Amino acid sequence: MFEVFRNAWKVAELRRKILYTLLIIVIFRLGSSIFVPFLDSNVISEMLGSGEVALLSYLDTMTGGALSQGTLLAMSITPYINASIIIQLLTVAIPYLERLSKEGDEGRKKINKITKFTSLGLALFQATAFYFSLRSYGAVAYTSGFDGVLAAITIIACFVAGASLIIWLGDQINEKGIGNGISMILFAGIVARGPSSVYSLIMSMKDDMKNAILVPIILLIFVAMIALVVLMTNAERRIPVQYAKRVVGRKMYGGQSTHIPIKVAMAGVMPIIFAMSVMSLPQTICYFFGIKGDYTSGHDFWEGFVRLFSPSSWLYAVLYFVLIIAFNYFYIAIQYNPVEIANNLKKNNGAIPGIRPGRPTSDFIYNSLSKISLIGALFLAFIAIFPIIFQNIAKINIALGGTTMLIVVGVALETVRSLESQMMMRHHKGFLE
């Protein structure tokens, strides 16, 4: 990977793109340091620092700590990610969106525009909900009268403006930088949490010396999980395809042998994000109403309910595991249609060796997808719940979130592949000879 970056740095055009991407990331980090007026960042840090609300803690990790500090980019790219997921799911259900998805570049531009408007609506909703939760916790300076109205409008407007700025920065990376803009910003936000996580680990060692024994184990686990993520991200099942030969005039066409790649982790982090949202929803709703699981609100039933859905609960881990597997199958089912793949092969005079065209081909692809999906689902579920199990056993908080690790490794591999493809385009003479 480092060799790829070193070779890319030697190309003037790629060097400009890399520097431009770094400039956008610097602007993103500067925006994450601009505090929103009328907010007490110390109260917000105390609110999210406990980690009792899994969804808010997860959003704080995605924003690089901007959410816990109450800064301009506190919403980060989470509204855009949620909007992308919603539009992606609606593409299967709404015929208009389905037609746009099949119209090539123009259709994708229209879908991207719809996604941006949807993300702004979600940003307004999330900013409003976050404002009311902050006000109930005492993090807002003014809550009544004209000053209260002005504070509410300012806080919500700043959060929505920050989300809009993030989308614009991502588009700039797509046009003039390297890699996917939204992914690069998400990567930068997660990596920015690294120093604070290391500092927390060092402080836990000072507080309890037995934690010092666990440090080498944590480092080994960290390296092993990265290796596993890289291996499973690149792993794929290749279904061979043979195209028939045909003669047109004096020329012969076809007769090529290729394959259909089926990745083991084809769903990426989407199943984990879906499962995290579902599992965190009950706890987050109760938290907004002042029920935090510490039996101080007077509602013992709901307090116990919140503790039951806390990340430290074994029931949470079991349900989380099952939901990831279910959402993995659901996501793959709406993304891949074996019947359509079989029909496209038949139209192009292609066939899988030993399998008849038509229904047998679609059944074979479906069975292959089911087996690969099971392996990918078990991998994602293991990566997601392993930190929970380790923290419950070792009684130490570690920053080995499965979602963050998958995102970081996936973005790094995607960026390397993008650089390799662009360098190959500029040095095409070598592989044509």
Give per-residue pLDDT as tens, 257-298.
888 888 888 887 778 877 877 777 777 667 666 666 555 556
Angle, CA of 322, 412 and 197, to the nearest 5°: 70
Round to whole Å and give the CA distance between 422 and 430.
14
CB neighbourhood size of 393 (10 A):
8
Give per-residue pLDDT as tens, 70-115.
888 888 887 888 888 788 778 877 888 888 877 877 888 888 889 8
For the segment(s) 1-193, the CATH number from 3.30.420.480, 1.10.3720.10, 3.40.50.300, 1.10.3370.10 is: 1.10.3370.10
Residue with tokens 């593409």: 91
List of E strands, 189-256: 236-243, 245-248, 251-254
The runs of H, that is alpha helices, within 94-209 are: 95-101, 104-137, 145-176, 181-192, 194-207
> How far apart are the two ends of the chain, measured CA to CA in Å?
26
What per-residue confidence (pLDDT) applies to 254? 59
Rounded to two decimals, what is the model's pTM? 0.76
What per-residue confidence (pLDDT) applies to 432? 46
DSSP string over 303-314: HHHHHHTSTT-H
Burial, 164: exposed, middle or buried (Cβ in 10 Å; 0-12, 13-18, 19+)? middle
Residue with tokens 């030969």: 245
Give per-residue pLDDT as tens, 181-234.
888 888 888 888 777 777 776 776 666 666 667 777 777 888 888 888 888 888
E strand or H helix at 21: helix 12-31
> In the Cβ-directed half-sphere of 278, how many Cα atoms lie within 13 Å?
16
pLDDT-derived band at 160, boundaries 50, 70, 90: very high
Q: Two tokens at 415? A: 């960026």
Most confidently modeled of 109-123, 204-218, 341-355?
109-123
Is-contact 374 265, C-beta < 8 A?
no
Q: Is the pLDDT of residue 40 over 60?
A: yes
Q: Is the pLDDT of residue 58 over 70?
A: no
Is 422 or 291 the better-scoring residue by pLDDT?
422
Q: Is the pLDDT of residue 302 over 50?
A: yes
